[in-house]
Chains A and B, each alone.
Chain A
């Protein structure tokens, strides 16, 4: 069947759209500046803090995946940290099994975790809300059991790649250009920045437009011809891939991974923090990862039990839901606009 074509309406000129870089800056200036500041300042911190911030950047990639699922297609994923474990496992297995360059491991981890994320998303094509959230939480819980009991690959043979007996555990090699902690932090931050840039490009592409229509409503998306299954599948793949990148970067940071770090409750916590941060913004991933990884470490360093962070996060979540639905990112944006208008007013 072919549609009868509407006759041409001759008009001169066309819509002028700002260039990609200009739009990226316009929409994400705060995020870009923050990433720049991190790259500039963090390498001068003590090694402990460099490692904490490296871990934060890895978590930020996973948080971005959680934010995309929540904000773009309205799905609650409670497997963000679990999917990091998937990426870490794949990265470690490929690194020890094939001895490929770190970048290839990273790519394989992203694709592998993306594929598993898309598979995990299959129930999400039909089910939203609590059902899908439970599916992802159960996946994260099951995964935790597996990685806790079997462990992560550490240079052994066979599918699981575990060493046995007195054989020494192997560490995942860092990239050749980032052997030191501070170089690896910069490397991680650049990779995450690249992942964020790619995410932004996807959000501005046909896939992102399709997600925006789904967010507006299933009926309007269907009436606009959006292939709902394909659009959701792409979102699940991207979210999985981002978590996979995070997991592989985490594995590269430490050289090995510990299954106990991937408790399902950690995925639940990450989701809550993404909501607190404001998932509509790319900056949310950085804010959520900061709260998840750096904030408890700061409390510890001040002599306060880091677990108190959980209480603070709970209060922040209630505040975000009741008073600040655009999250910390929204409040920062409003503050920035207020400052701009004050300075603008003063200039006039």
Chain B
């Protein structure tokens, strides 16, 4: 459960997010908005990379404002990046082991959990392949596996389906749909209306750093204000 109250982010004179108050409680929660809406900035706020000038961040009932970015993983808050970010000179397995290192898991526990996470993400056969030699889909999976290795409460994915082929996208969606049953809330940022519509039970829509609408996915996506802000449709026509 993500609760943001009166969040304002300022970069010099620019405010990509201004007075944002929103609660995002979907099992698979979508976050959409046109370019420049403040989606990635919000993700960076939730990750601890960006400190808002005002407002409060409550995750699962706990105040995360003062929690350092490095400490979020051990608190079950994980994320992926728009472009997959992995250590190219480590194997896929070693990229995932970093999470176990951070959590201080024993070698035996780490091995057991690594086996599980590799199987879950379909990376078992590529475990010892250098990440620099993996294809785009596998890199996405390595990132997601690194998140899953932390047994997350919240896994935030920034455009996880970008650049994937249709079959890869289908496999990704199958995996993501399983995550809430494993105890993780999923927050997906994407431009893809179809993906959000298929995956998310709740969606929040941002535009110019402000909340346009939030609620059940189909209802929200049909909202005239959302269609006007996101698809450029005339608000009255959309209504």
Q: Given contacts A15-B124, A223-B47, A225-B103, is CB(A4)–CB(B85) below 8 Å?
A: no
Interface size on A, residues (CB 8 A): 35
Check if B81 is an interface residue, CB within 8 A of chain A: yes
B78 CB within 8 Å of chain A: yes
* Contact A226 B79, CB 8 Å, known A4-B151, A209-B90, A213-B87: no
The answer for the CA separation of A130 and B89 in the assembled complex, in Å, is: 25
Q: Which residues of A are found within 8 Å of B85, using beta-carbon distances?
A: 216-217, 219-220, 223
User: Which of B31-39, B93-101, B198-206, B212-220 touches A?
Assistant: B93-101
Q: Which residues of A contact B111 (CB under 8 A)?
A: 14-15
Closest B residue, CB atoms, query A229: B70
For the complex, give the distance between the alpha carbons of A11 and B114 in Å. Answer: 11
Q: Which of chain B's residues have a CB closer than 8 A to the CB of A224?
A: 73, 98-99, 102, 146
> Which residues in A have their C-beta under 8 angstroms from that of B124?
11, 13, 15
Stretch at the interface among B5-13, B20-28, B115-123, B231-239: B115-123
Contact with B along A266-293 (1 / 0, CB 8 A): 0000000000000010000000000000
**Interface contact A210-B73, CB-CB below 8 Å:** no
Cβ contacts under 8 Å, A280 to chain B: 89
Q: Is the CB of B115 within 8 A of A226?
A: no
Determine if A11 and B116 form an interchain contact, defined as CB atoms under 8 angstroms apart. yes
Q: Mark A50-71, 1 if CB is under 8 A from B, else 0.
A: 0000000000000000000000
Task: Give the A-B contact count at a CB cut-off of 8 A.
Answer: 130
Instruction: Give Cα distance in the complex from A18 to B78, angstroms.
Output: 30
CB distance from A264 to the nearest CB of B (A): 31
Provide the B171-215 mask, 1 if CB < 8 A to any CB of A, else 0. Answer: 000000000011110000000000000000000000000000000
Q: Within the assembled complex, what's the spacing in Å between the Cα atoms of A206 and B96? A: 11
Q: Pick the contact of B115 from A3, A5, A6, A14 — CB < 8 Å?
A: A14
Do B74 and A16 touch across chains, with their CB atoms under 8 A apart?
Answer: no
Task: Knowing A209-B101, A219-B81, A225-B74 are in contact, say whether A6-B183 is a contact too (CB < 8 A).
Answer: yes
Taking a contact as CB atoms under 8 Å apart, the answer to whether A223 and B118 are in contact is: no
Residues in chain B near residue A37, CB distance under 8 A? none
Check B99 against A225 for contact (C-beta < 8 Å).
yes
Supposing A9-B116, A17-B93 touch, asked if A206 and B183 sit within 8 A by C-beta, the answer is no
Tell me, yes or no, whether B135 is within 8 Å of chain A by CB: no
Q: Does A8 contact B (CB under 8 A)?
A: yes
Contacts of B118 in A (CB 8 A): 14-15
Chain A residues, Cβ within 8 Å of B101: 206, 209-210, 225-226
> What is the bound-complex CA distance between A219 and B44, given in angstroms?
9
Chain A contacts for B49, CB-based, 8 A = 219, 222
Which of B73, B74, B119, B151 contacts A5, CB < 8 Å? B151
Any A CB within 8 A of the CB of B128: yes
B153 at the interface (CB under 8 A from A): yes
Which of A6, A14, A209 is close to B97, meaning CB atoms less than 8 Å apart? A209
Residues of B within 8 A of A11 (CB): 115-116, 119, 124
Closest to A215 in B: B87
Instruction: Return chain B residues, CB-CB under 8 Å to A210.
Output: 98, 101
Q: Decide yes or no: A3 and B150 within 8 Å by CB, A9-B116, A220-B85, A223-B69 being known contacts.
A: yes
The 8 Å CB contact of A226, one of B62, B76, B98, B181, is B98
A228 at the interface (CB under 8 A from B): yes
A-B interface, 6 closest residue pairs, ranked by CB to CB distance from nearest: A225-B102, A3-B76, A225-B73, A212-B87, A14-B115, A15-B127
Task: Give residues in A with beta carbon < 8 Å to B.
Answer: 1-11, 13-18, 206, 209-210, 212-213, 215-217, 219-220, 222-228, 280
Chain B residues near A (Cβ < 8 Å): 47-49, 62, 69-76, 78-79, 81, 85-90, 93-95, 97-99, 101-103, 111-112, 114-120, 124, 127-128, 146, 148, 150-153, 181-184
14 A-B pairs with C-beta separation under 8 A: A1-B62, A3-B76, A3-B151, A7-B181, A9-B116, A11-B116, A14-B111, A15-B111, A219-B49, A222-B69, A224-B102, A225-B73, A226-B102, A227-B70
